[in-house]
Amino acid sequence: MHTATRIRALALLTMISIAVGTAGCGSSTESSIPVQDSPPSMTPSRGPSGSDGTYNCGDFDTHSQAQAYFDSVGDIDGLDGNGDGVACESLS
């Protein structure tokens, strides 16, 4: 490889390394990659209240929060008492 080609390749690799290295490190420079807001938490701020480590409907503040949790993990906590796919209907 010729010296000029090596220098161009090294410069290109350096630019790529800088771009990749600063993309997610909290740099104050703006990125052209759009950043999405974090979705609301699907688990309550308090821990599971079930004696077996499960969440109960009372652990959730809203039906939407309970349903989002249910949709993401399934009915591992027994939040859908009648099996209709709707978690914690008492919170509706």
pLDDT tens profile 9-20: 666 666 666 666
pLDDT at 38: 47
Contact 49, 59 (CB under 8 A): yes
User: In the predicted model, what is the mean pLDDT of residues 50-58?
Assistant: 90
Residue 74 inside a domain? The answer is yes
Tokens of 75: 């009915």
pLDDT at 86: 96
Residue 20 inside a domain? The answer is no
Residue 4 inside a domain? The answer is no
Residue 67 inside a domain? The answer is yes
Residue 8 inside a domain? The answer is no
pLDDT tens by residue, 66-82 = 999 999 999 999 999 99
Residue 35 inside a domain? The answer is no
The total number of structural domains in the chain stands at 1
Is pTM beyond 0.85? Reply is: no
Residue 86 inside a domain? The answer is yes
* Averaged confidence pLDDT in the chain: 76
Q: Which domain holds residue 81?
A: 41-92
If you ran DSSP here, which 8-state letter would residue 27 be given? -
Give the integer Cα–Cα distance in Å for 61 and 44: 7
User: In the predicted model, what is the mean pLDDT of residues 59-72?
Assistant: 91
More confident residue, 5 or 38: 5
If you ran DSSP here, which 8-state letter would residue 58 be given? G
Residue 28 inside a domain? The answer is no
Residues 6+ away with beta carbon under 8 Å from 64: none
